Chain A
Amino acid sequence: MVDITVRVNGATHTNSVEARTTLSDFLRDDLDLTGTHVGCEHGVCGACTVIVDGRAVRSCLMLAVQAAGSEVTTVEGLAPDGSLGTLQQAMWDSHSFQCGFCTPGFIMQATAFLSAHPDAGEQEIREALSGNICRCTGYQSIIDGVLLAARRSHTD
Chain B
Amino acid sequence: MKLPYVDYEAPETVAEAVDLLAEHQDEASVLAGGQSLIPLLALRLARPALLIDINGLGELSGVSAADGWIAIGAMTREYVAEESQLVADAVPLLAAALPLIGHEAIRSRGTIGGSLAHADPAAELPAVALALGAEFVVRGRSGERVIPAAEWFEGYLATSRRPDEILVEVRFPAAGPDTGAAFQEVARRHGDFAIVGLAASLSFTDGAISDTRLAFSGVADVPVRAADAEEFLAGERPSPEVFEEAARRATAGLDPPADLHGSAEYRKKIAATLVRRGLQAAADSARQDSARQDSAHQDSAHGRQ
Binding site for B on A (CB under 8 A): 2, 18-22, 25, 41-44, 46, 49, 52, 55-58, 60-63, 65-66, 109, 112-113, 126-128, 130-131
Contacts and interface: CB of A to CB of B under 8 A. Distances in A.
A126 B35 CA distance: 22
Contact of A55 (B5, B6, B108): B108
Contact of B39 (A61, A63, A128): A61
Nearest to A38: B2
Nearest to B108: A55
A46 B190 CA distance: 14
Nearest to B45: A42
Contact of A112 (B2, B35, B104): B104
Contacts of A109: 104-105
Contacts of A131: 102-106, 191
B276 to A, nearest CB: 24
A41 B2 contact: yes
Interface of B: 1-8, 10, 31, 34-35, 38-39, 41-43, 51, 53, 55, 79, 102-106, 108-109, 189-191
A141 B110 CA distance: 30
Contacts of B10: 65
A49 B8 contact: no
Nearest to A105: B105
B109 A57 contact: yes
A43 B7 contact: no
23 contacts: A18-B5, A19-B51, A20-B4, A21-B3, A22-B2, A41-B1, A41-B2, A42-B38, A42-B42, A44-B39, A49-B105, A55-B108, A56-B108, A58-B105, A58-B106, A62-B109, A65-B8, A66-B34, A66-B55, A109-B105, A112-B104, A128-B104, A131-B102
Nearest to B10: A65
Given A57-B108, A62-B109, A19 B6 contact: yes
Contact of B34 (A18, A55, A63, A126): A63
Contact of B5 (A2, A20, A43, A62): A20
B79 A55 contact: yes
Contacts of A57: 105, 108-109
Contacts of B191: 127, 130-131
Contacts of A43: 35, 38-39, 106
Contacts of A20: 2-6, 8, 41
A118 to B, nearest CB: 15
Contacts of B190: 126-127, 130
A57 to B, nearest CB: 5
Nearest to B43: A42
A42 B110 CA distance: 14
Nearest to B50: A19
B57 to A, nearest CB: 13
Contacts of A128: 104
A2 B10 CA distance: 11
Contacts of B8: 2, 19-20, 63, 65
A18 B3 CA distance: 11
Given A42-B39, A55-B79, A57-B109, A130 B7 contact: no
A46 B6 contact: no
Contacts of A126: 190
Contacts of A127: 190-191
A128 B41 CA distance: 27
Contacts of B6: 19-20
B79 A61 contact: no
A62 to B, nearest CB: 6
> Which 9 residue pairs spanning A and B have beta carbons closest together?
A131-B103, A19-B8, A42-B39, A55-B108, A20-B3, A130-B190, A56-B105, A42-B42, A61-B38
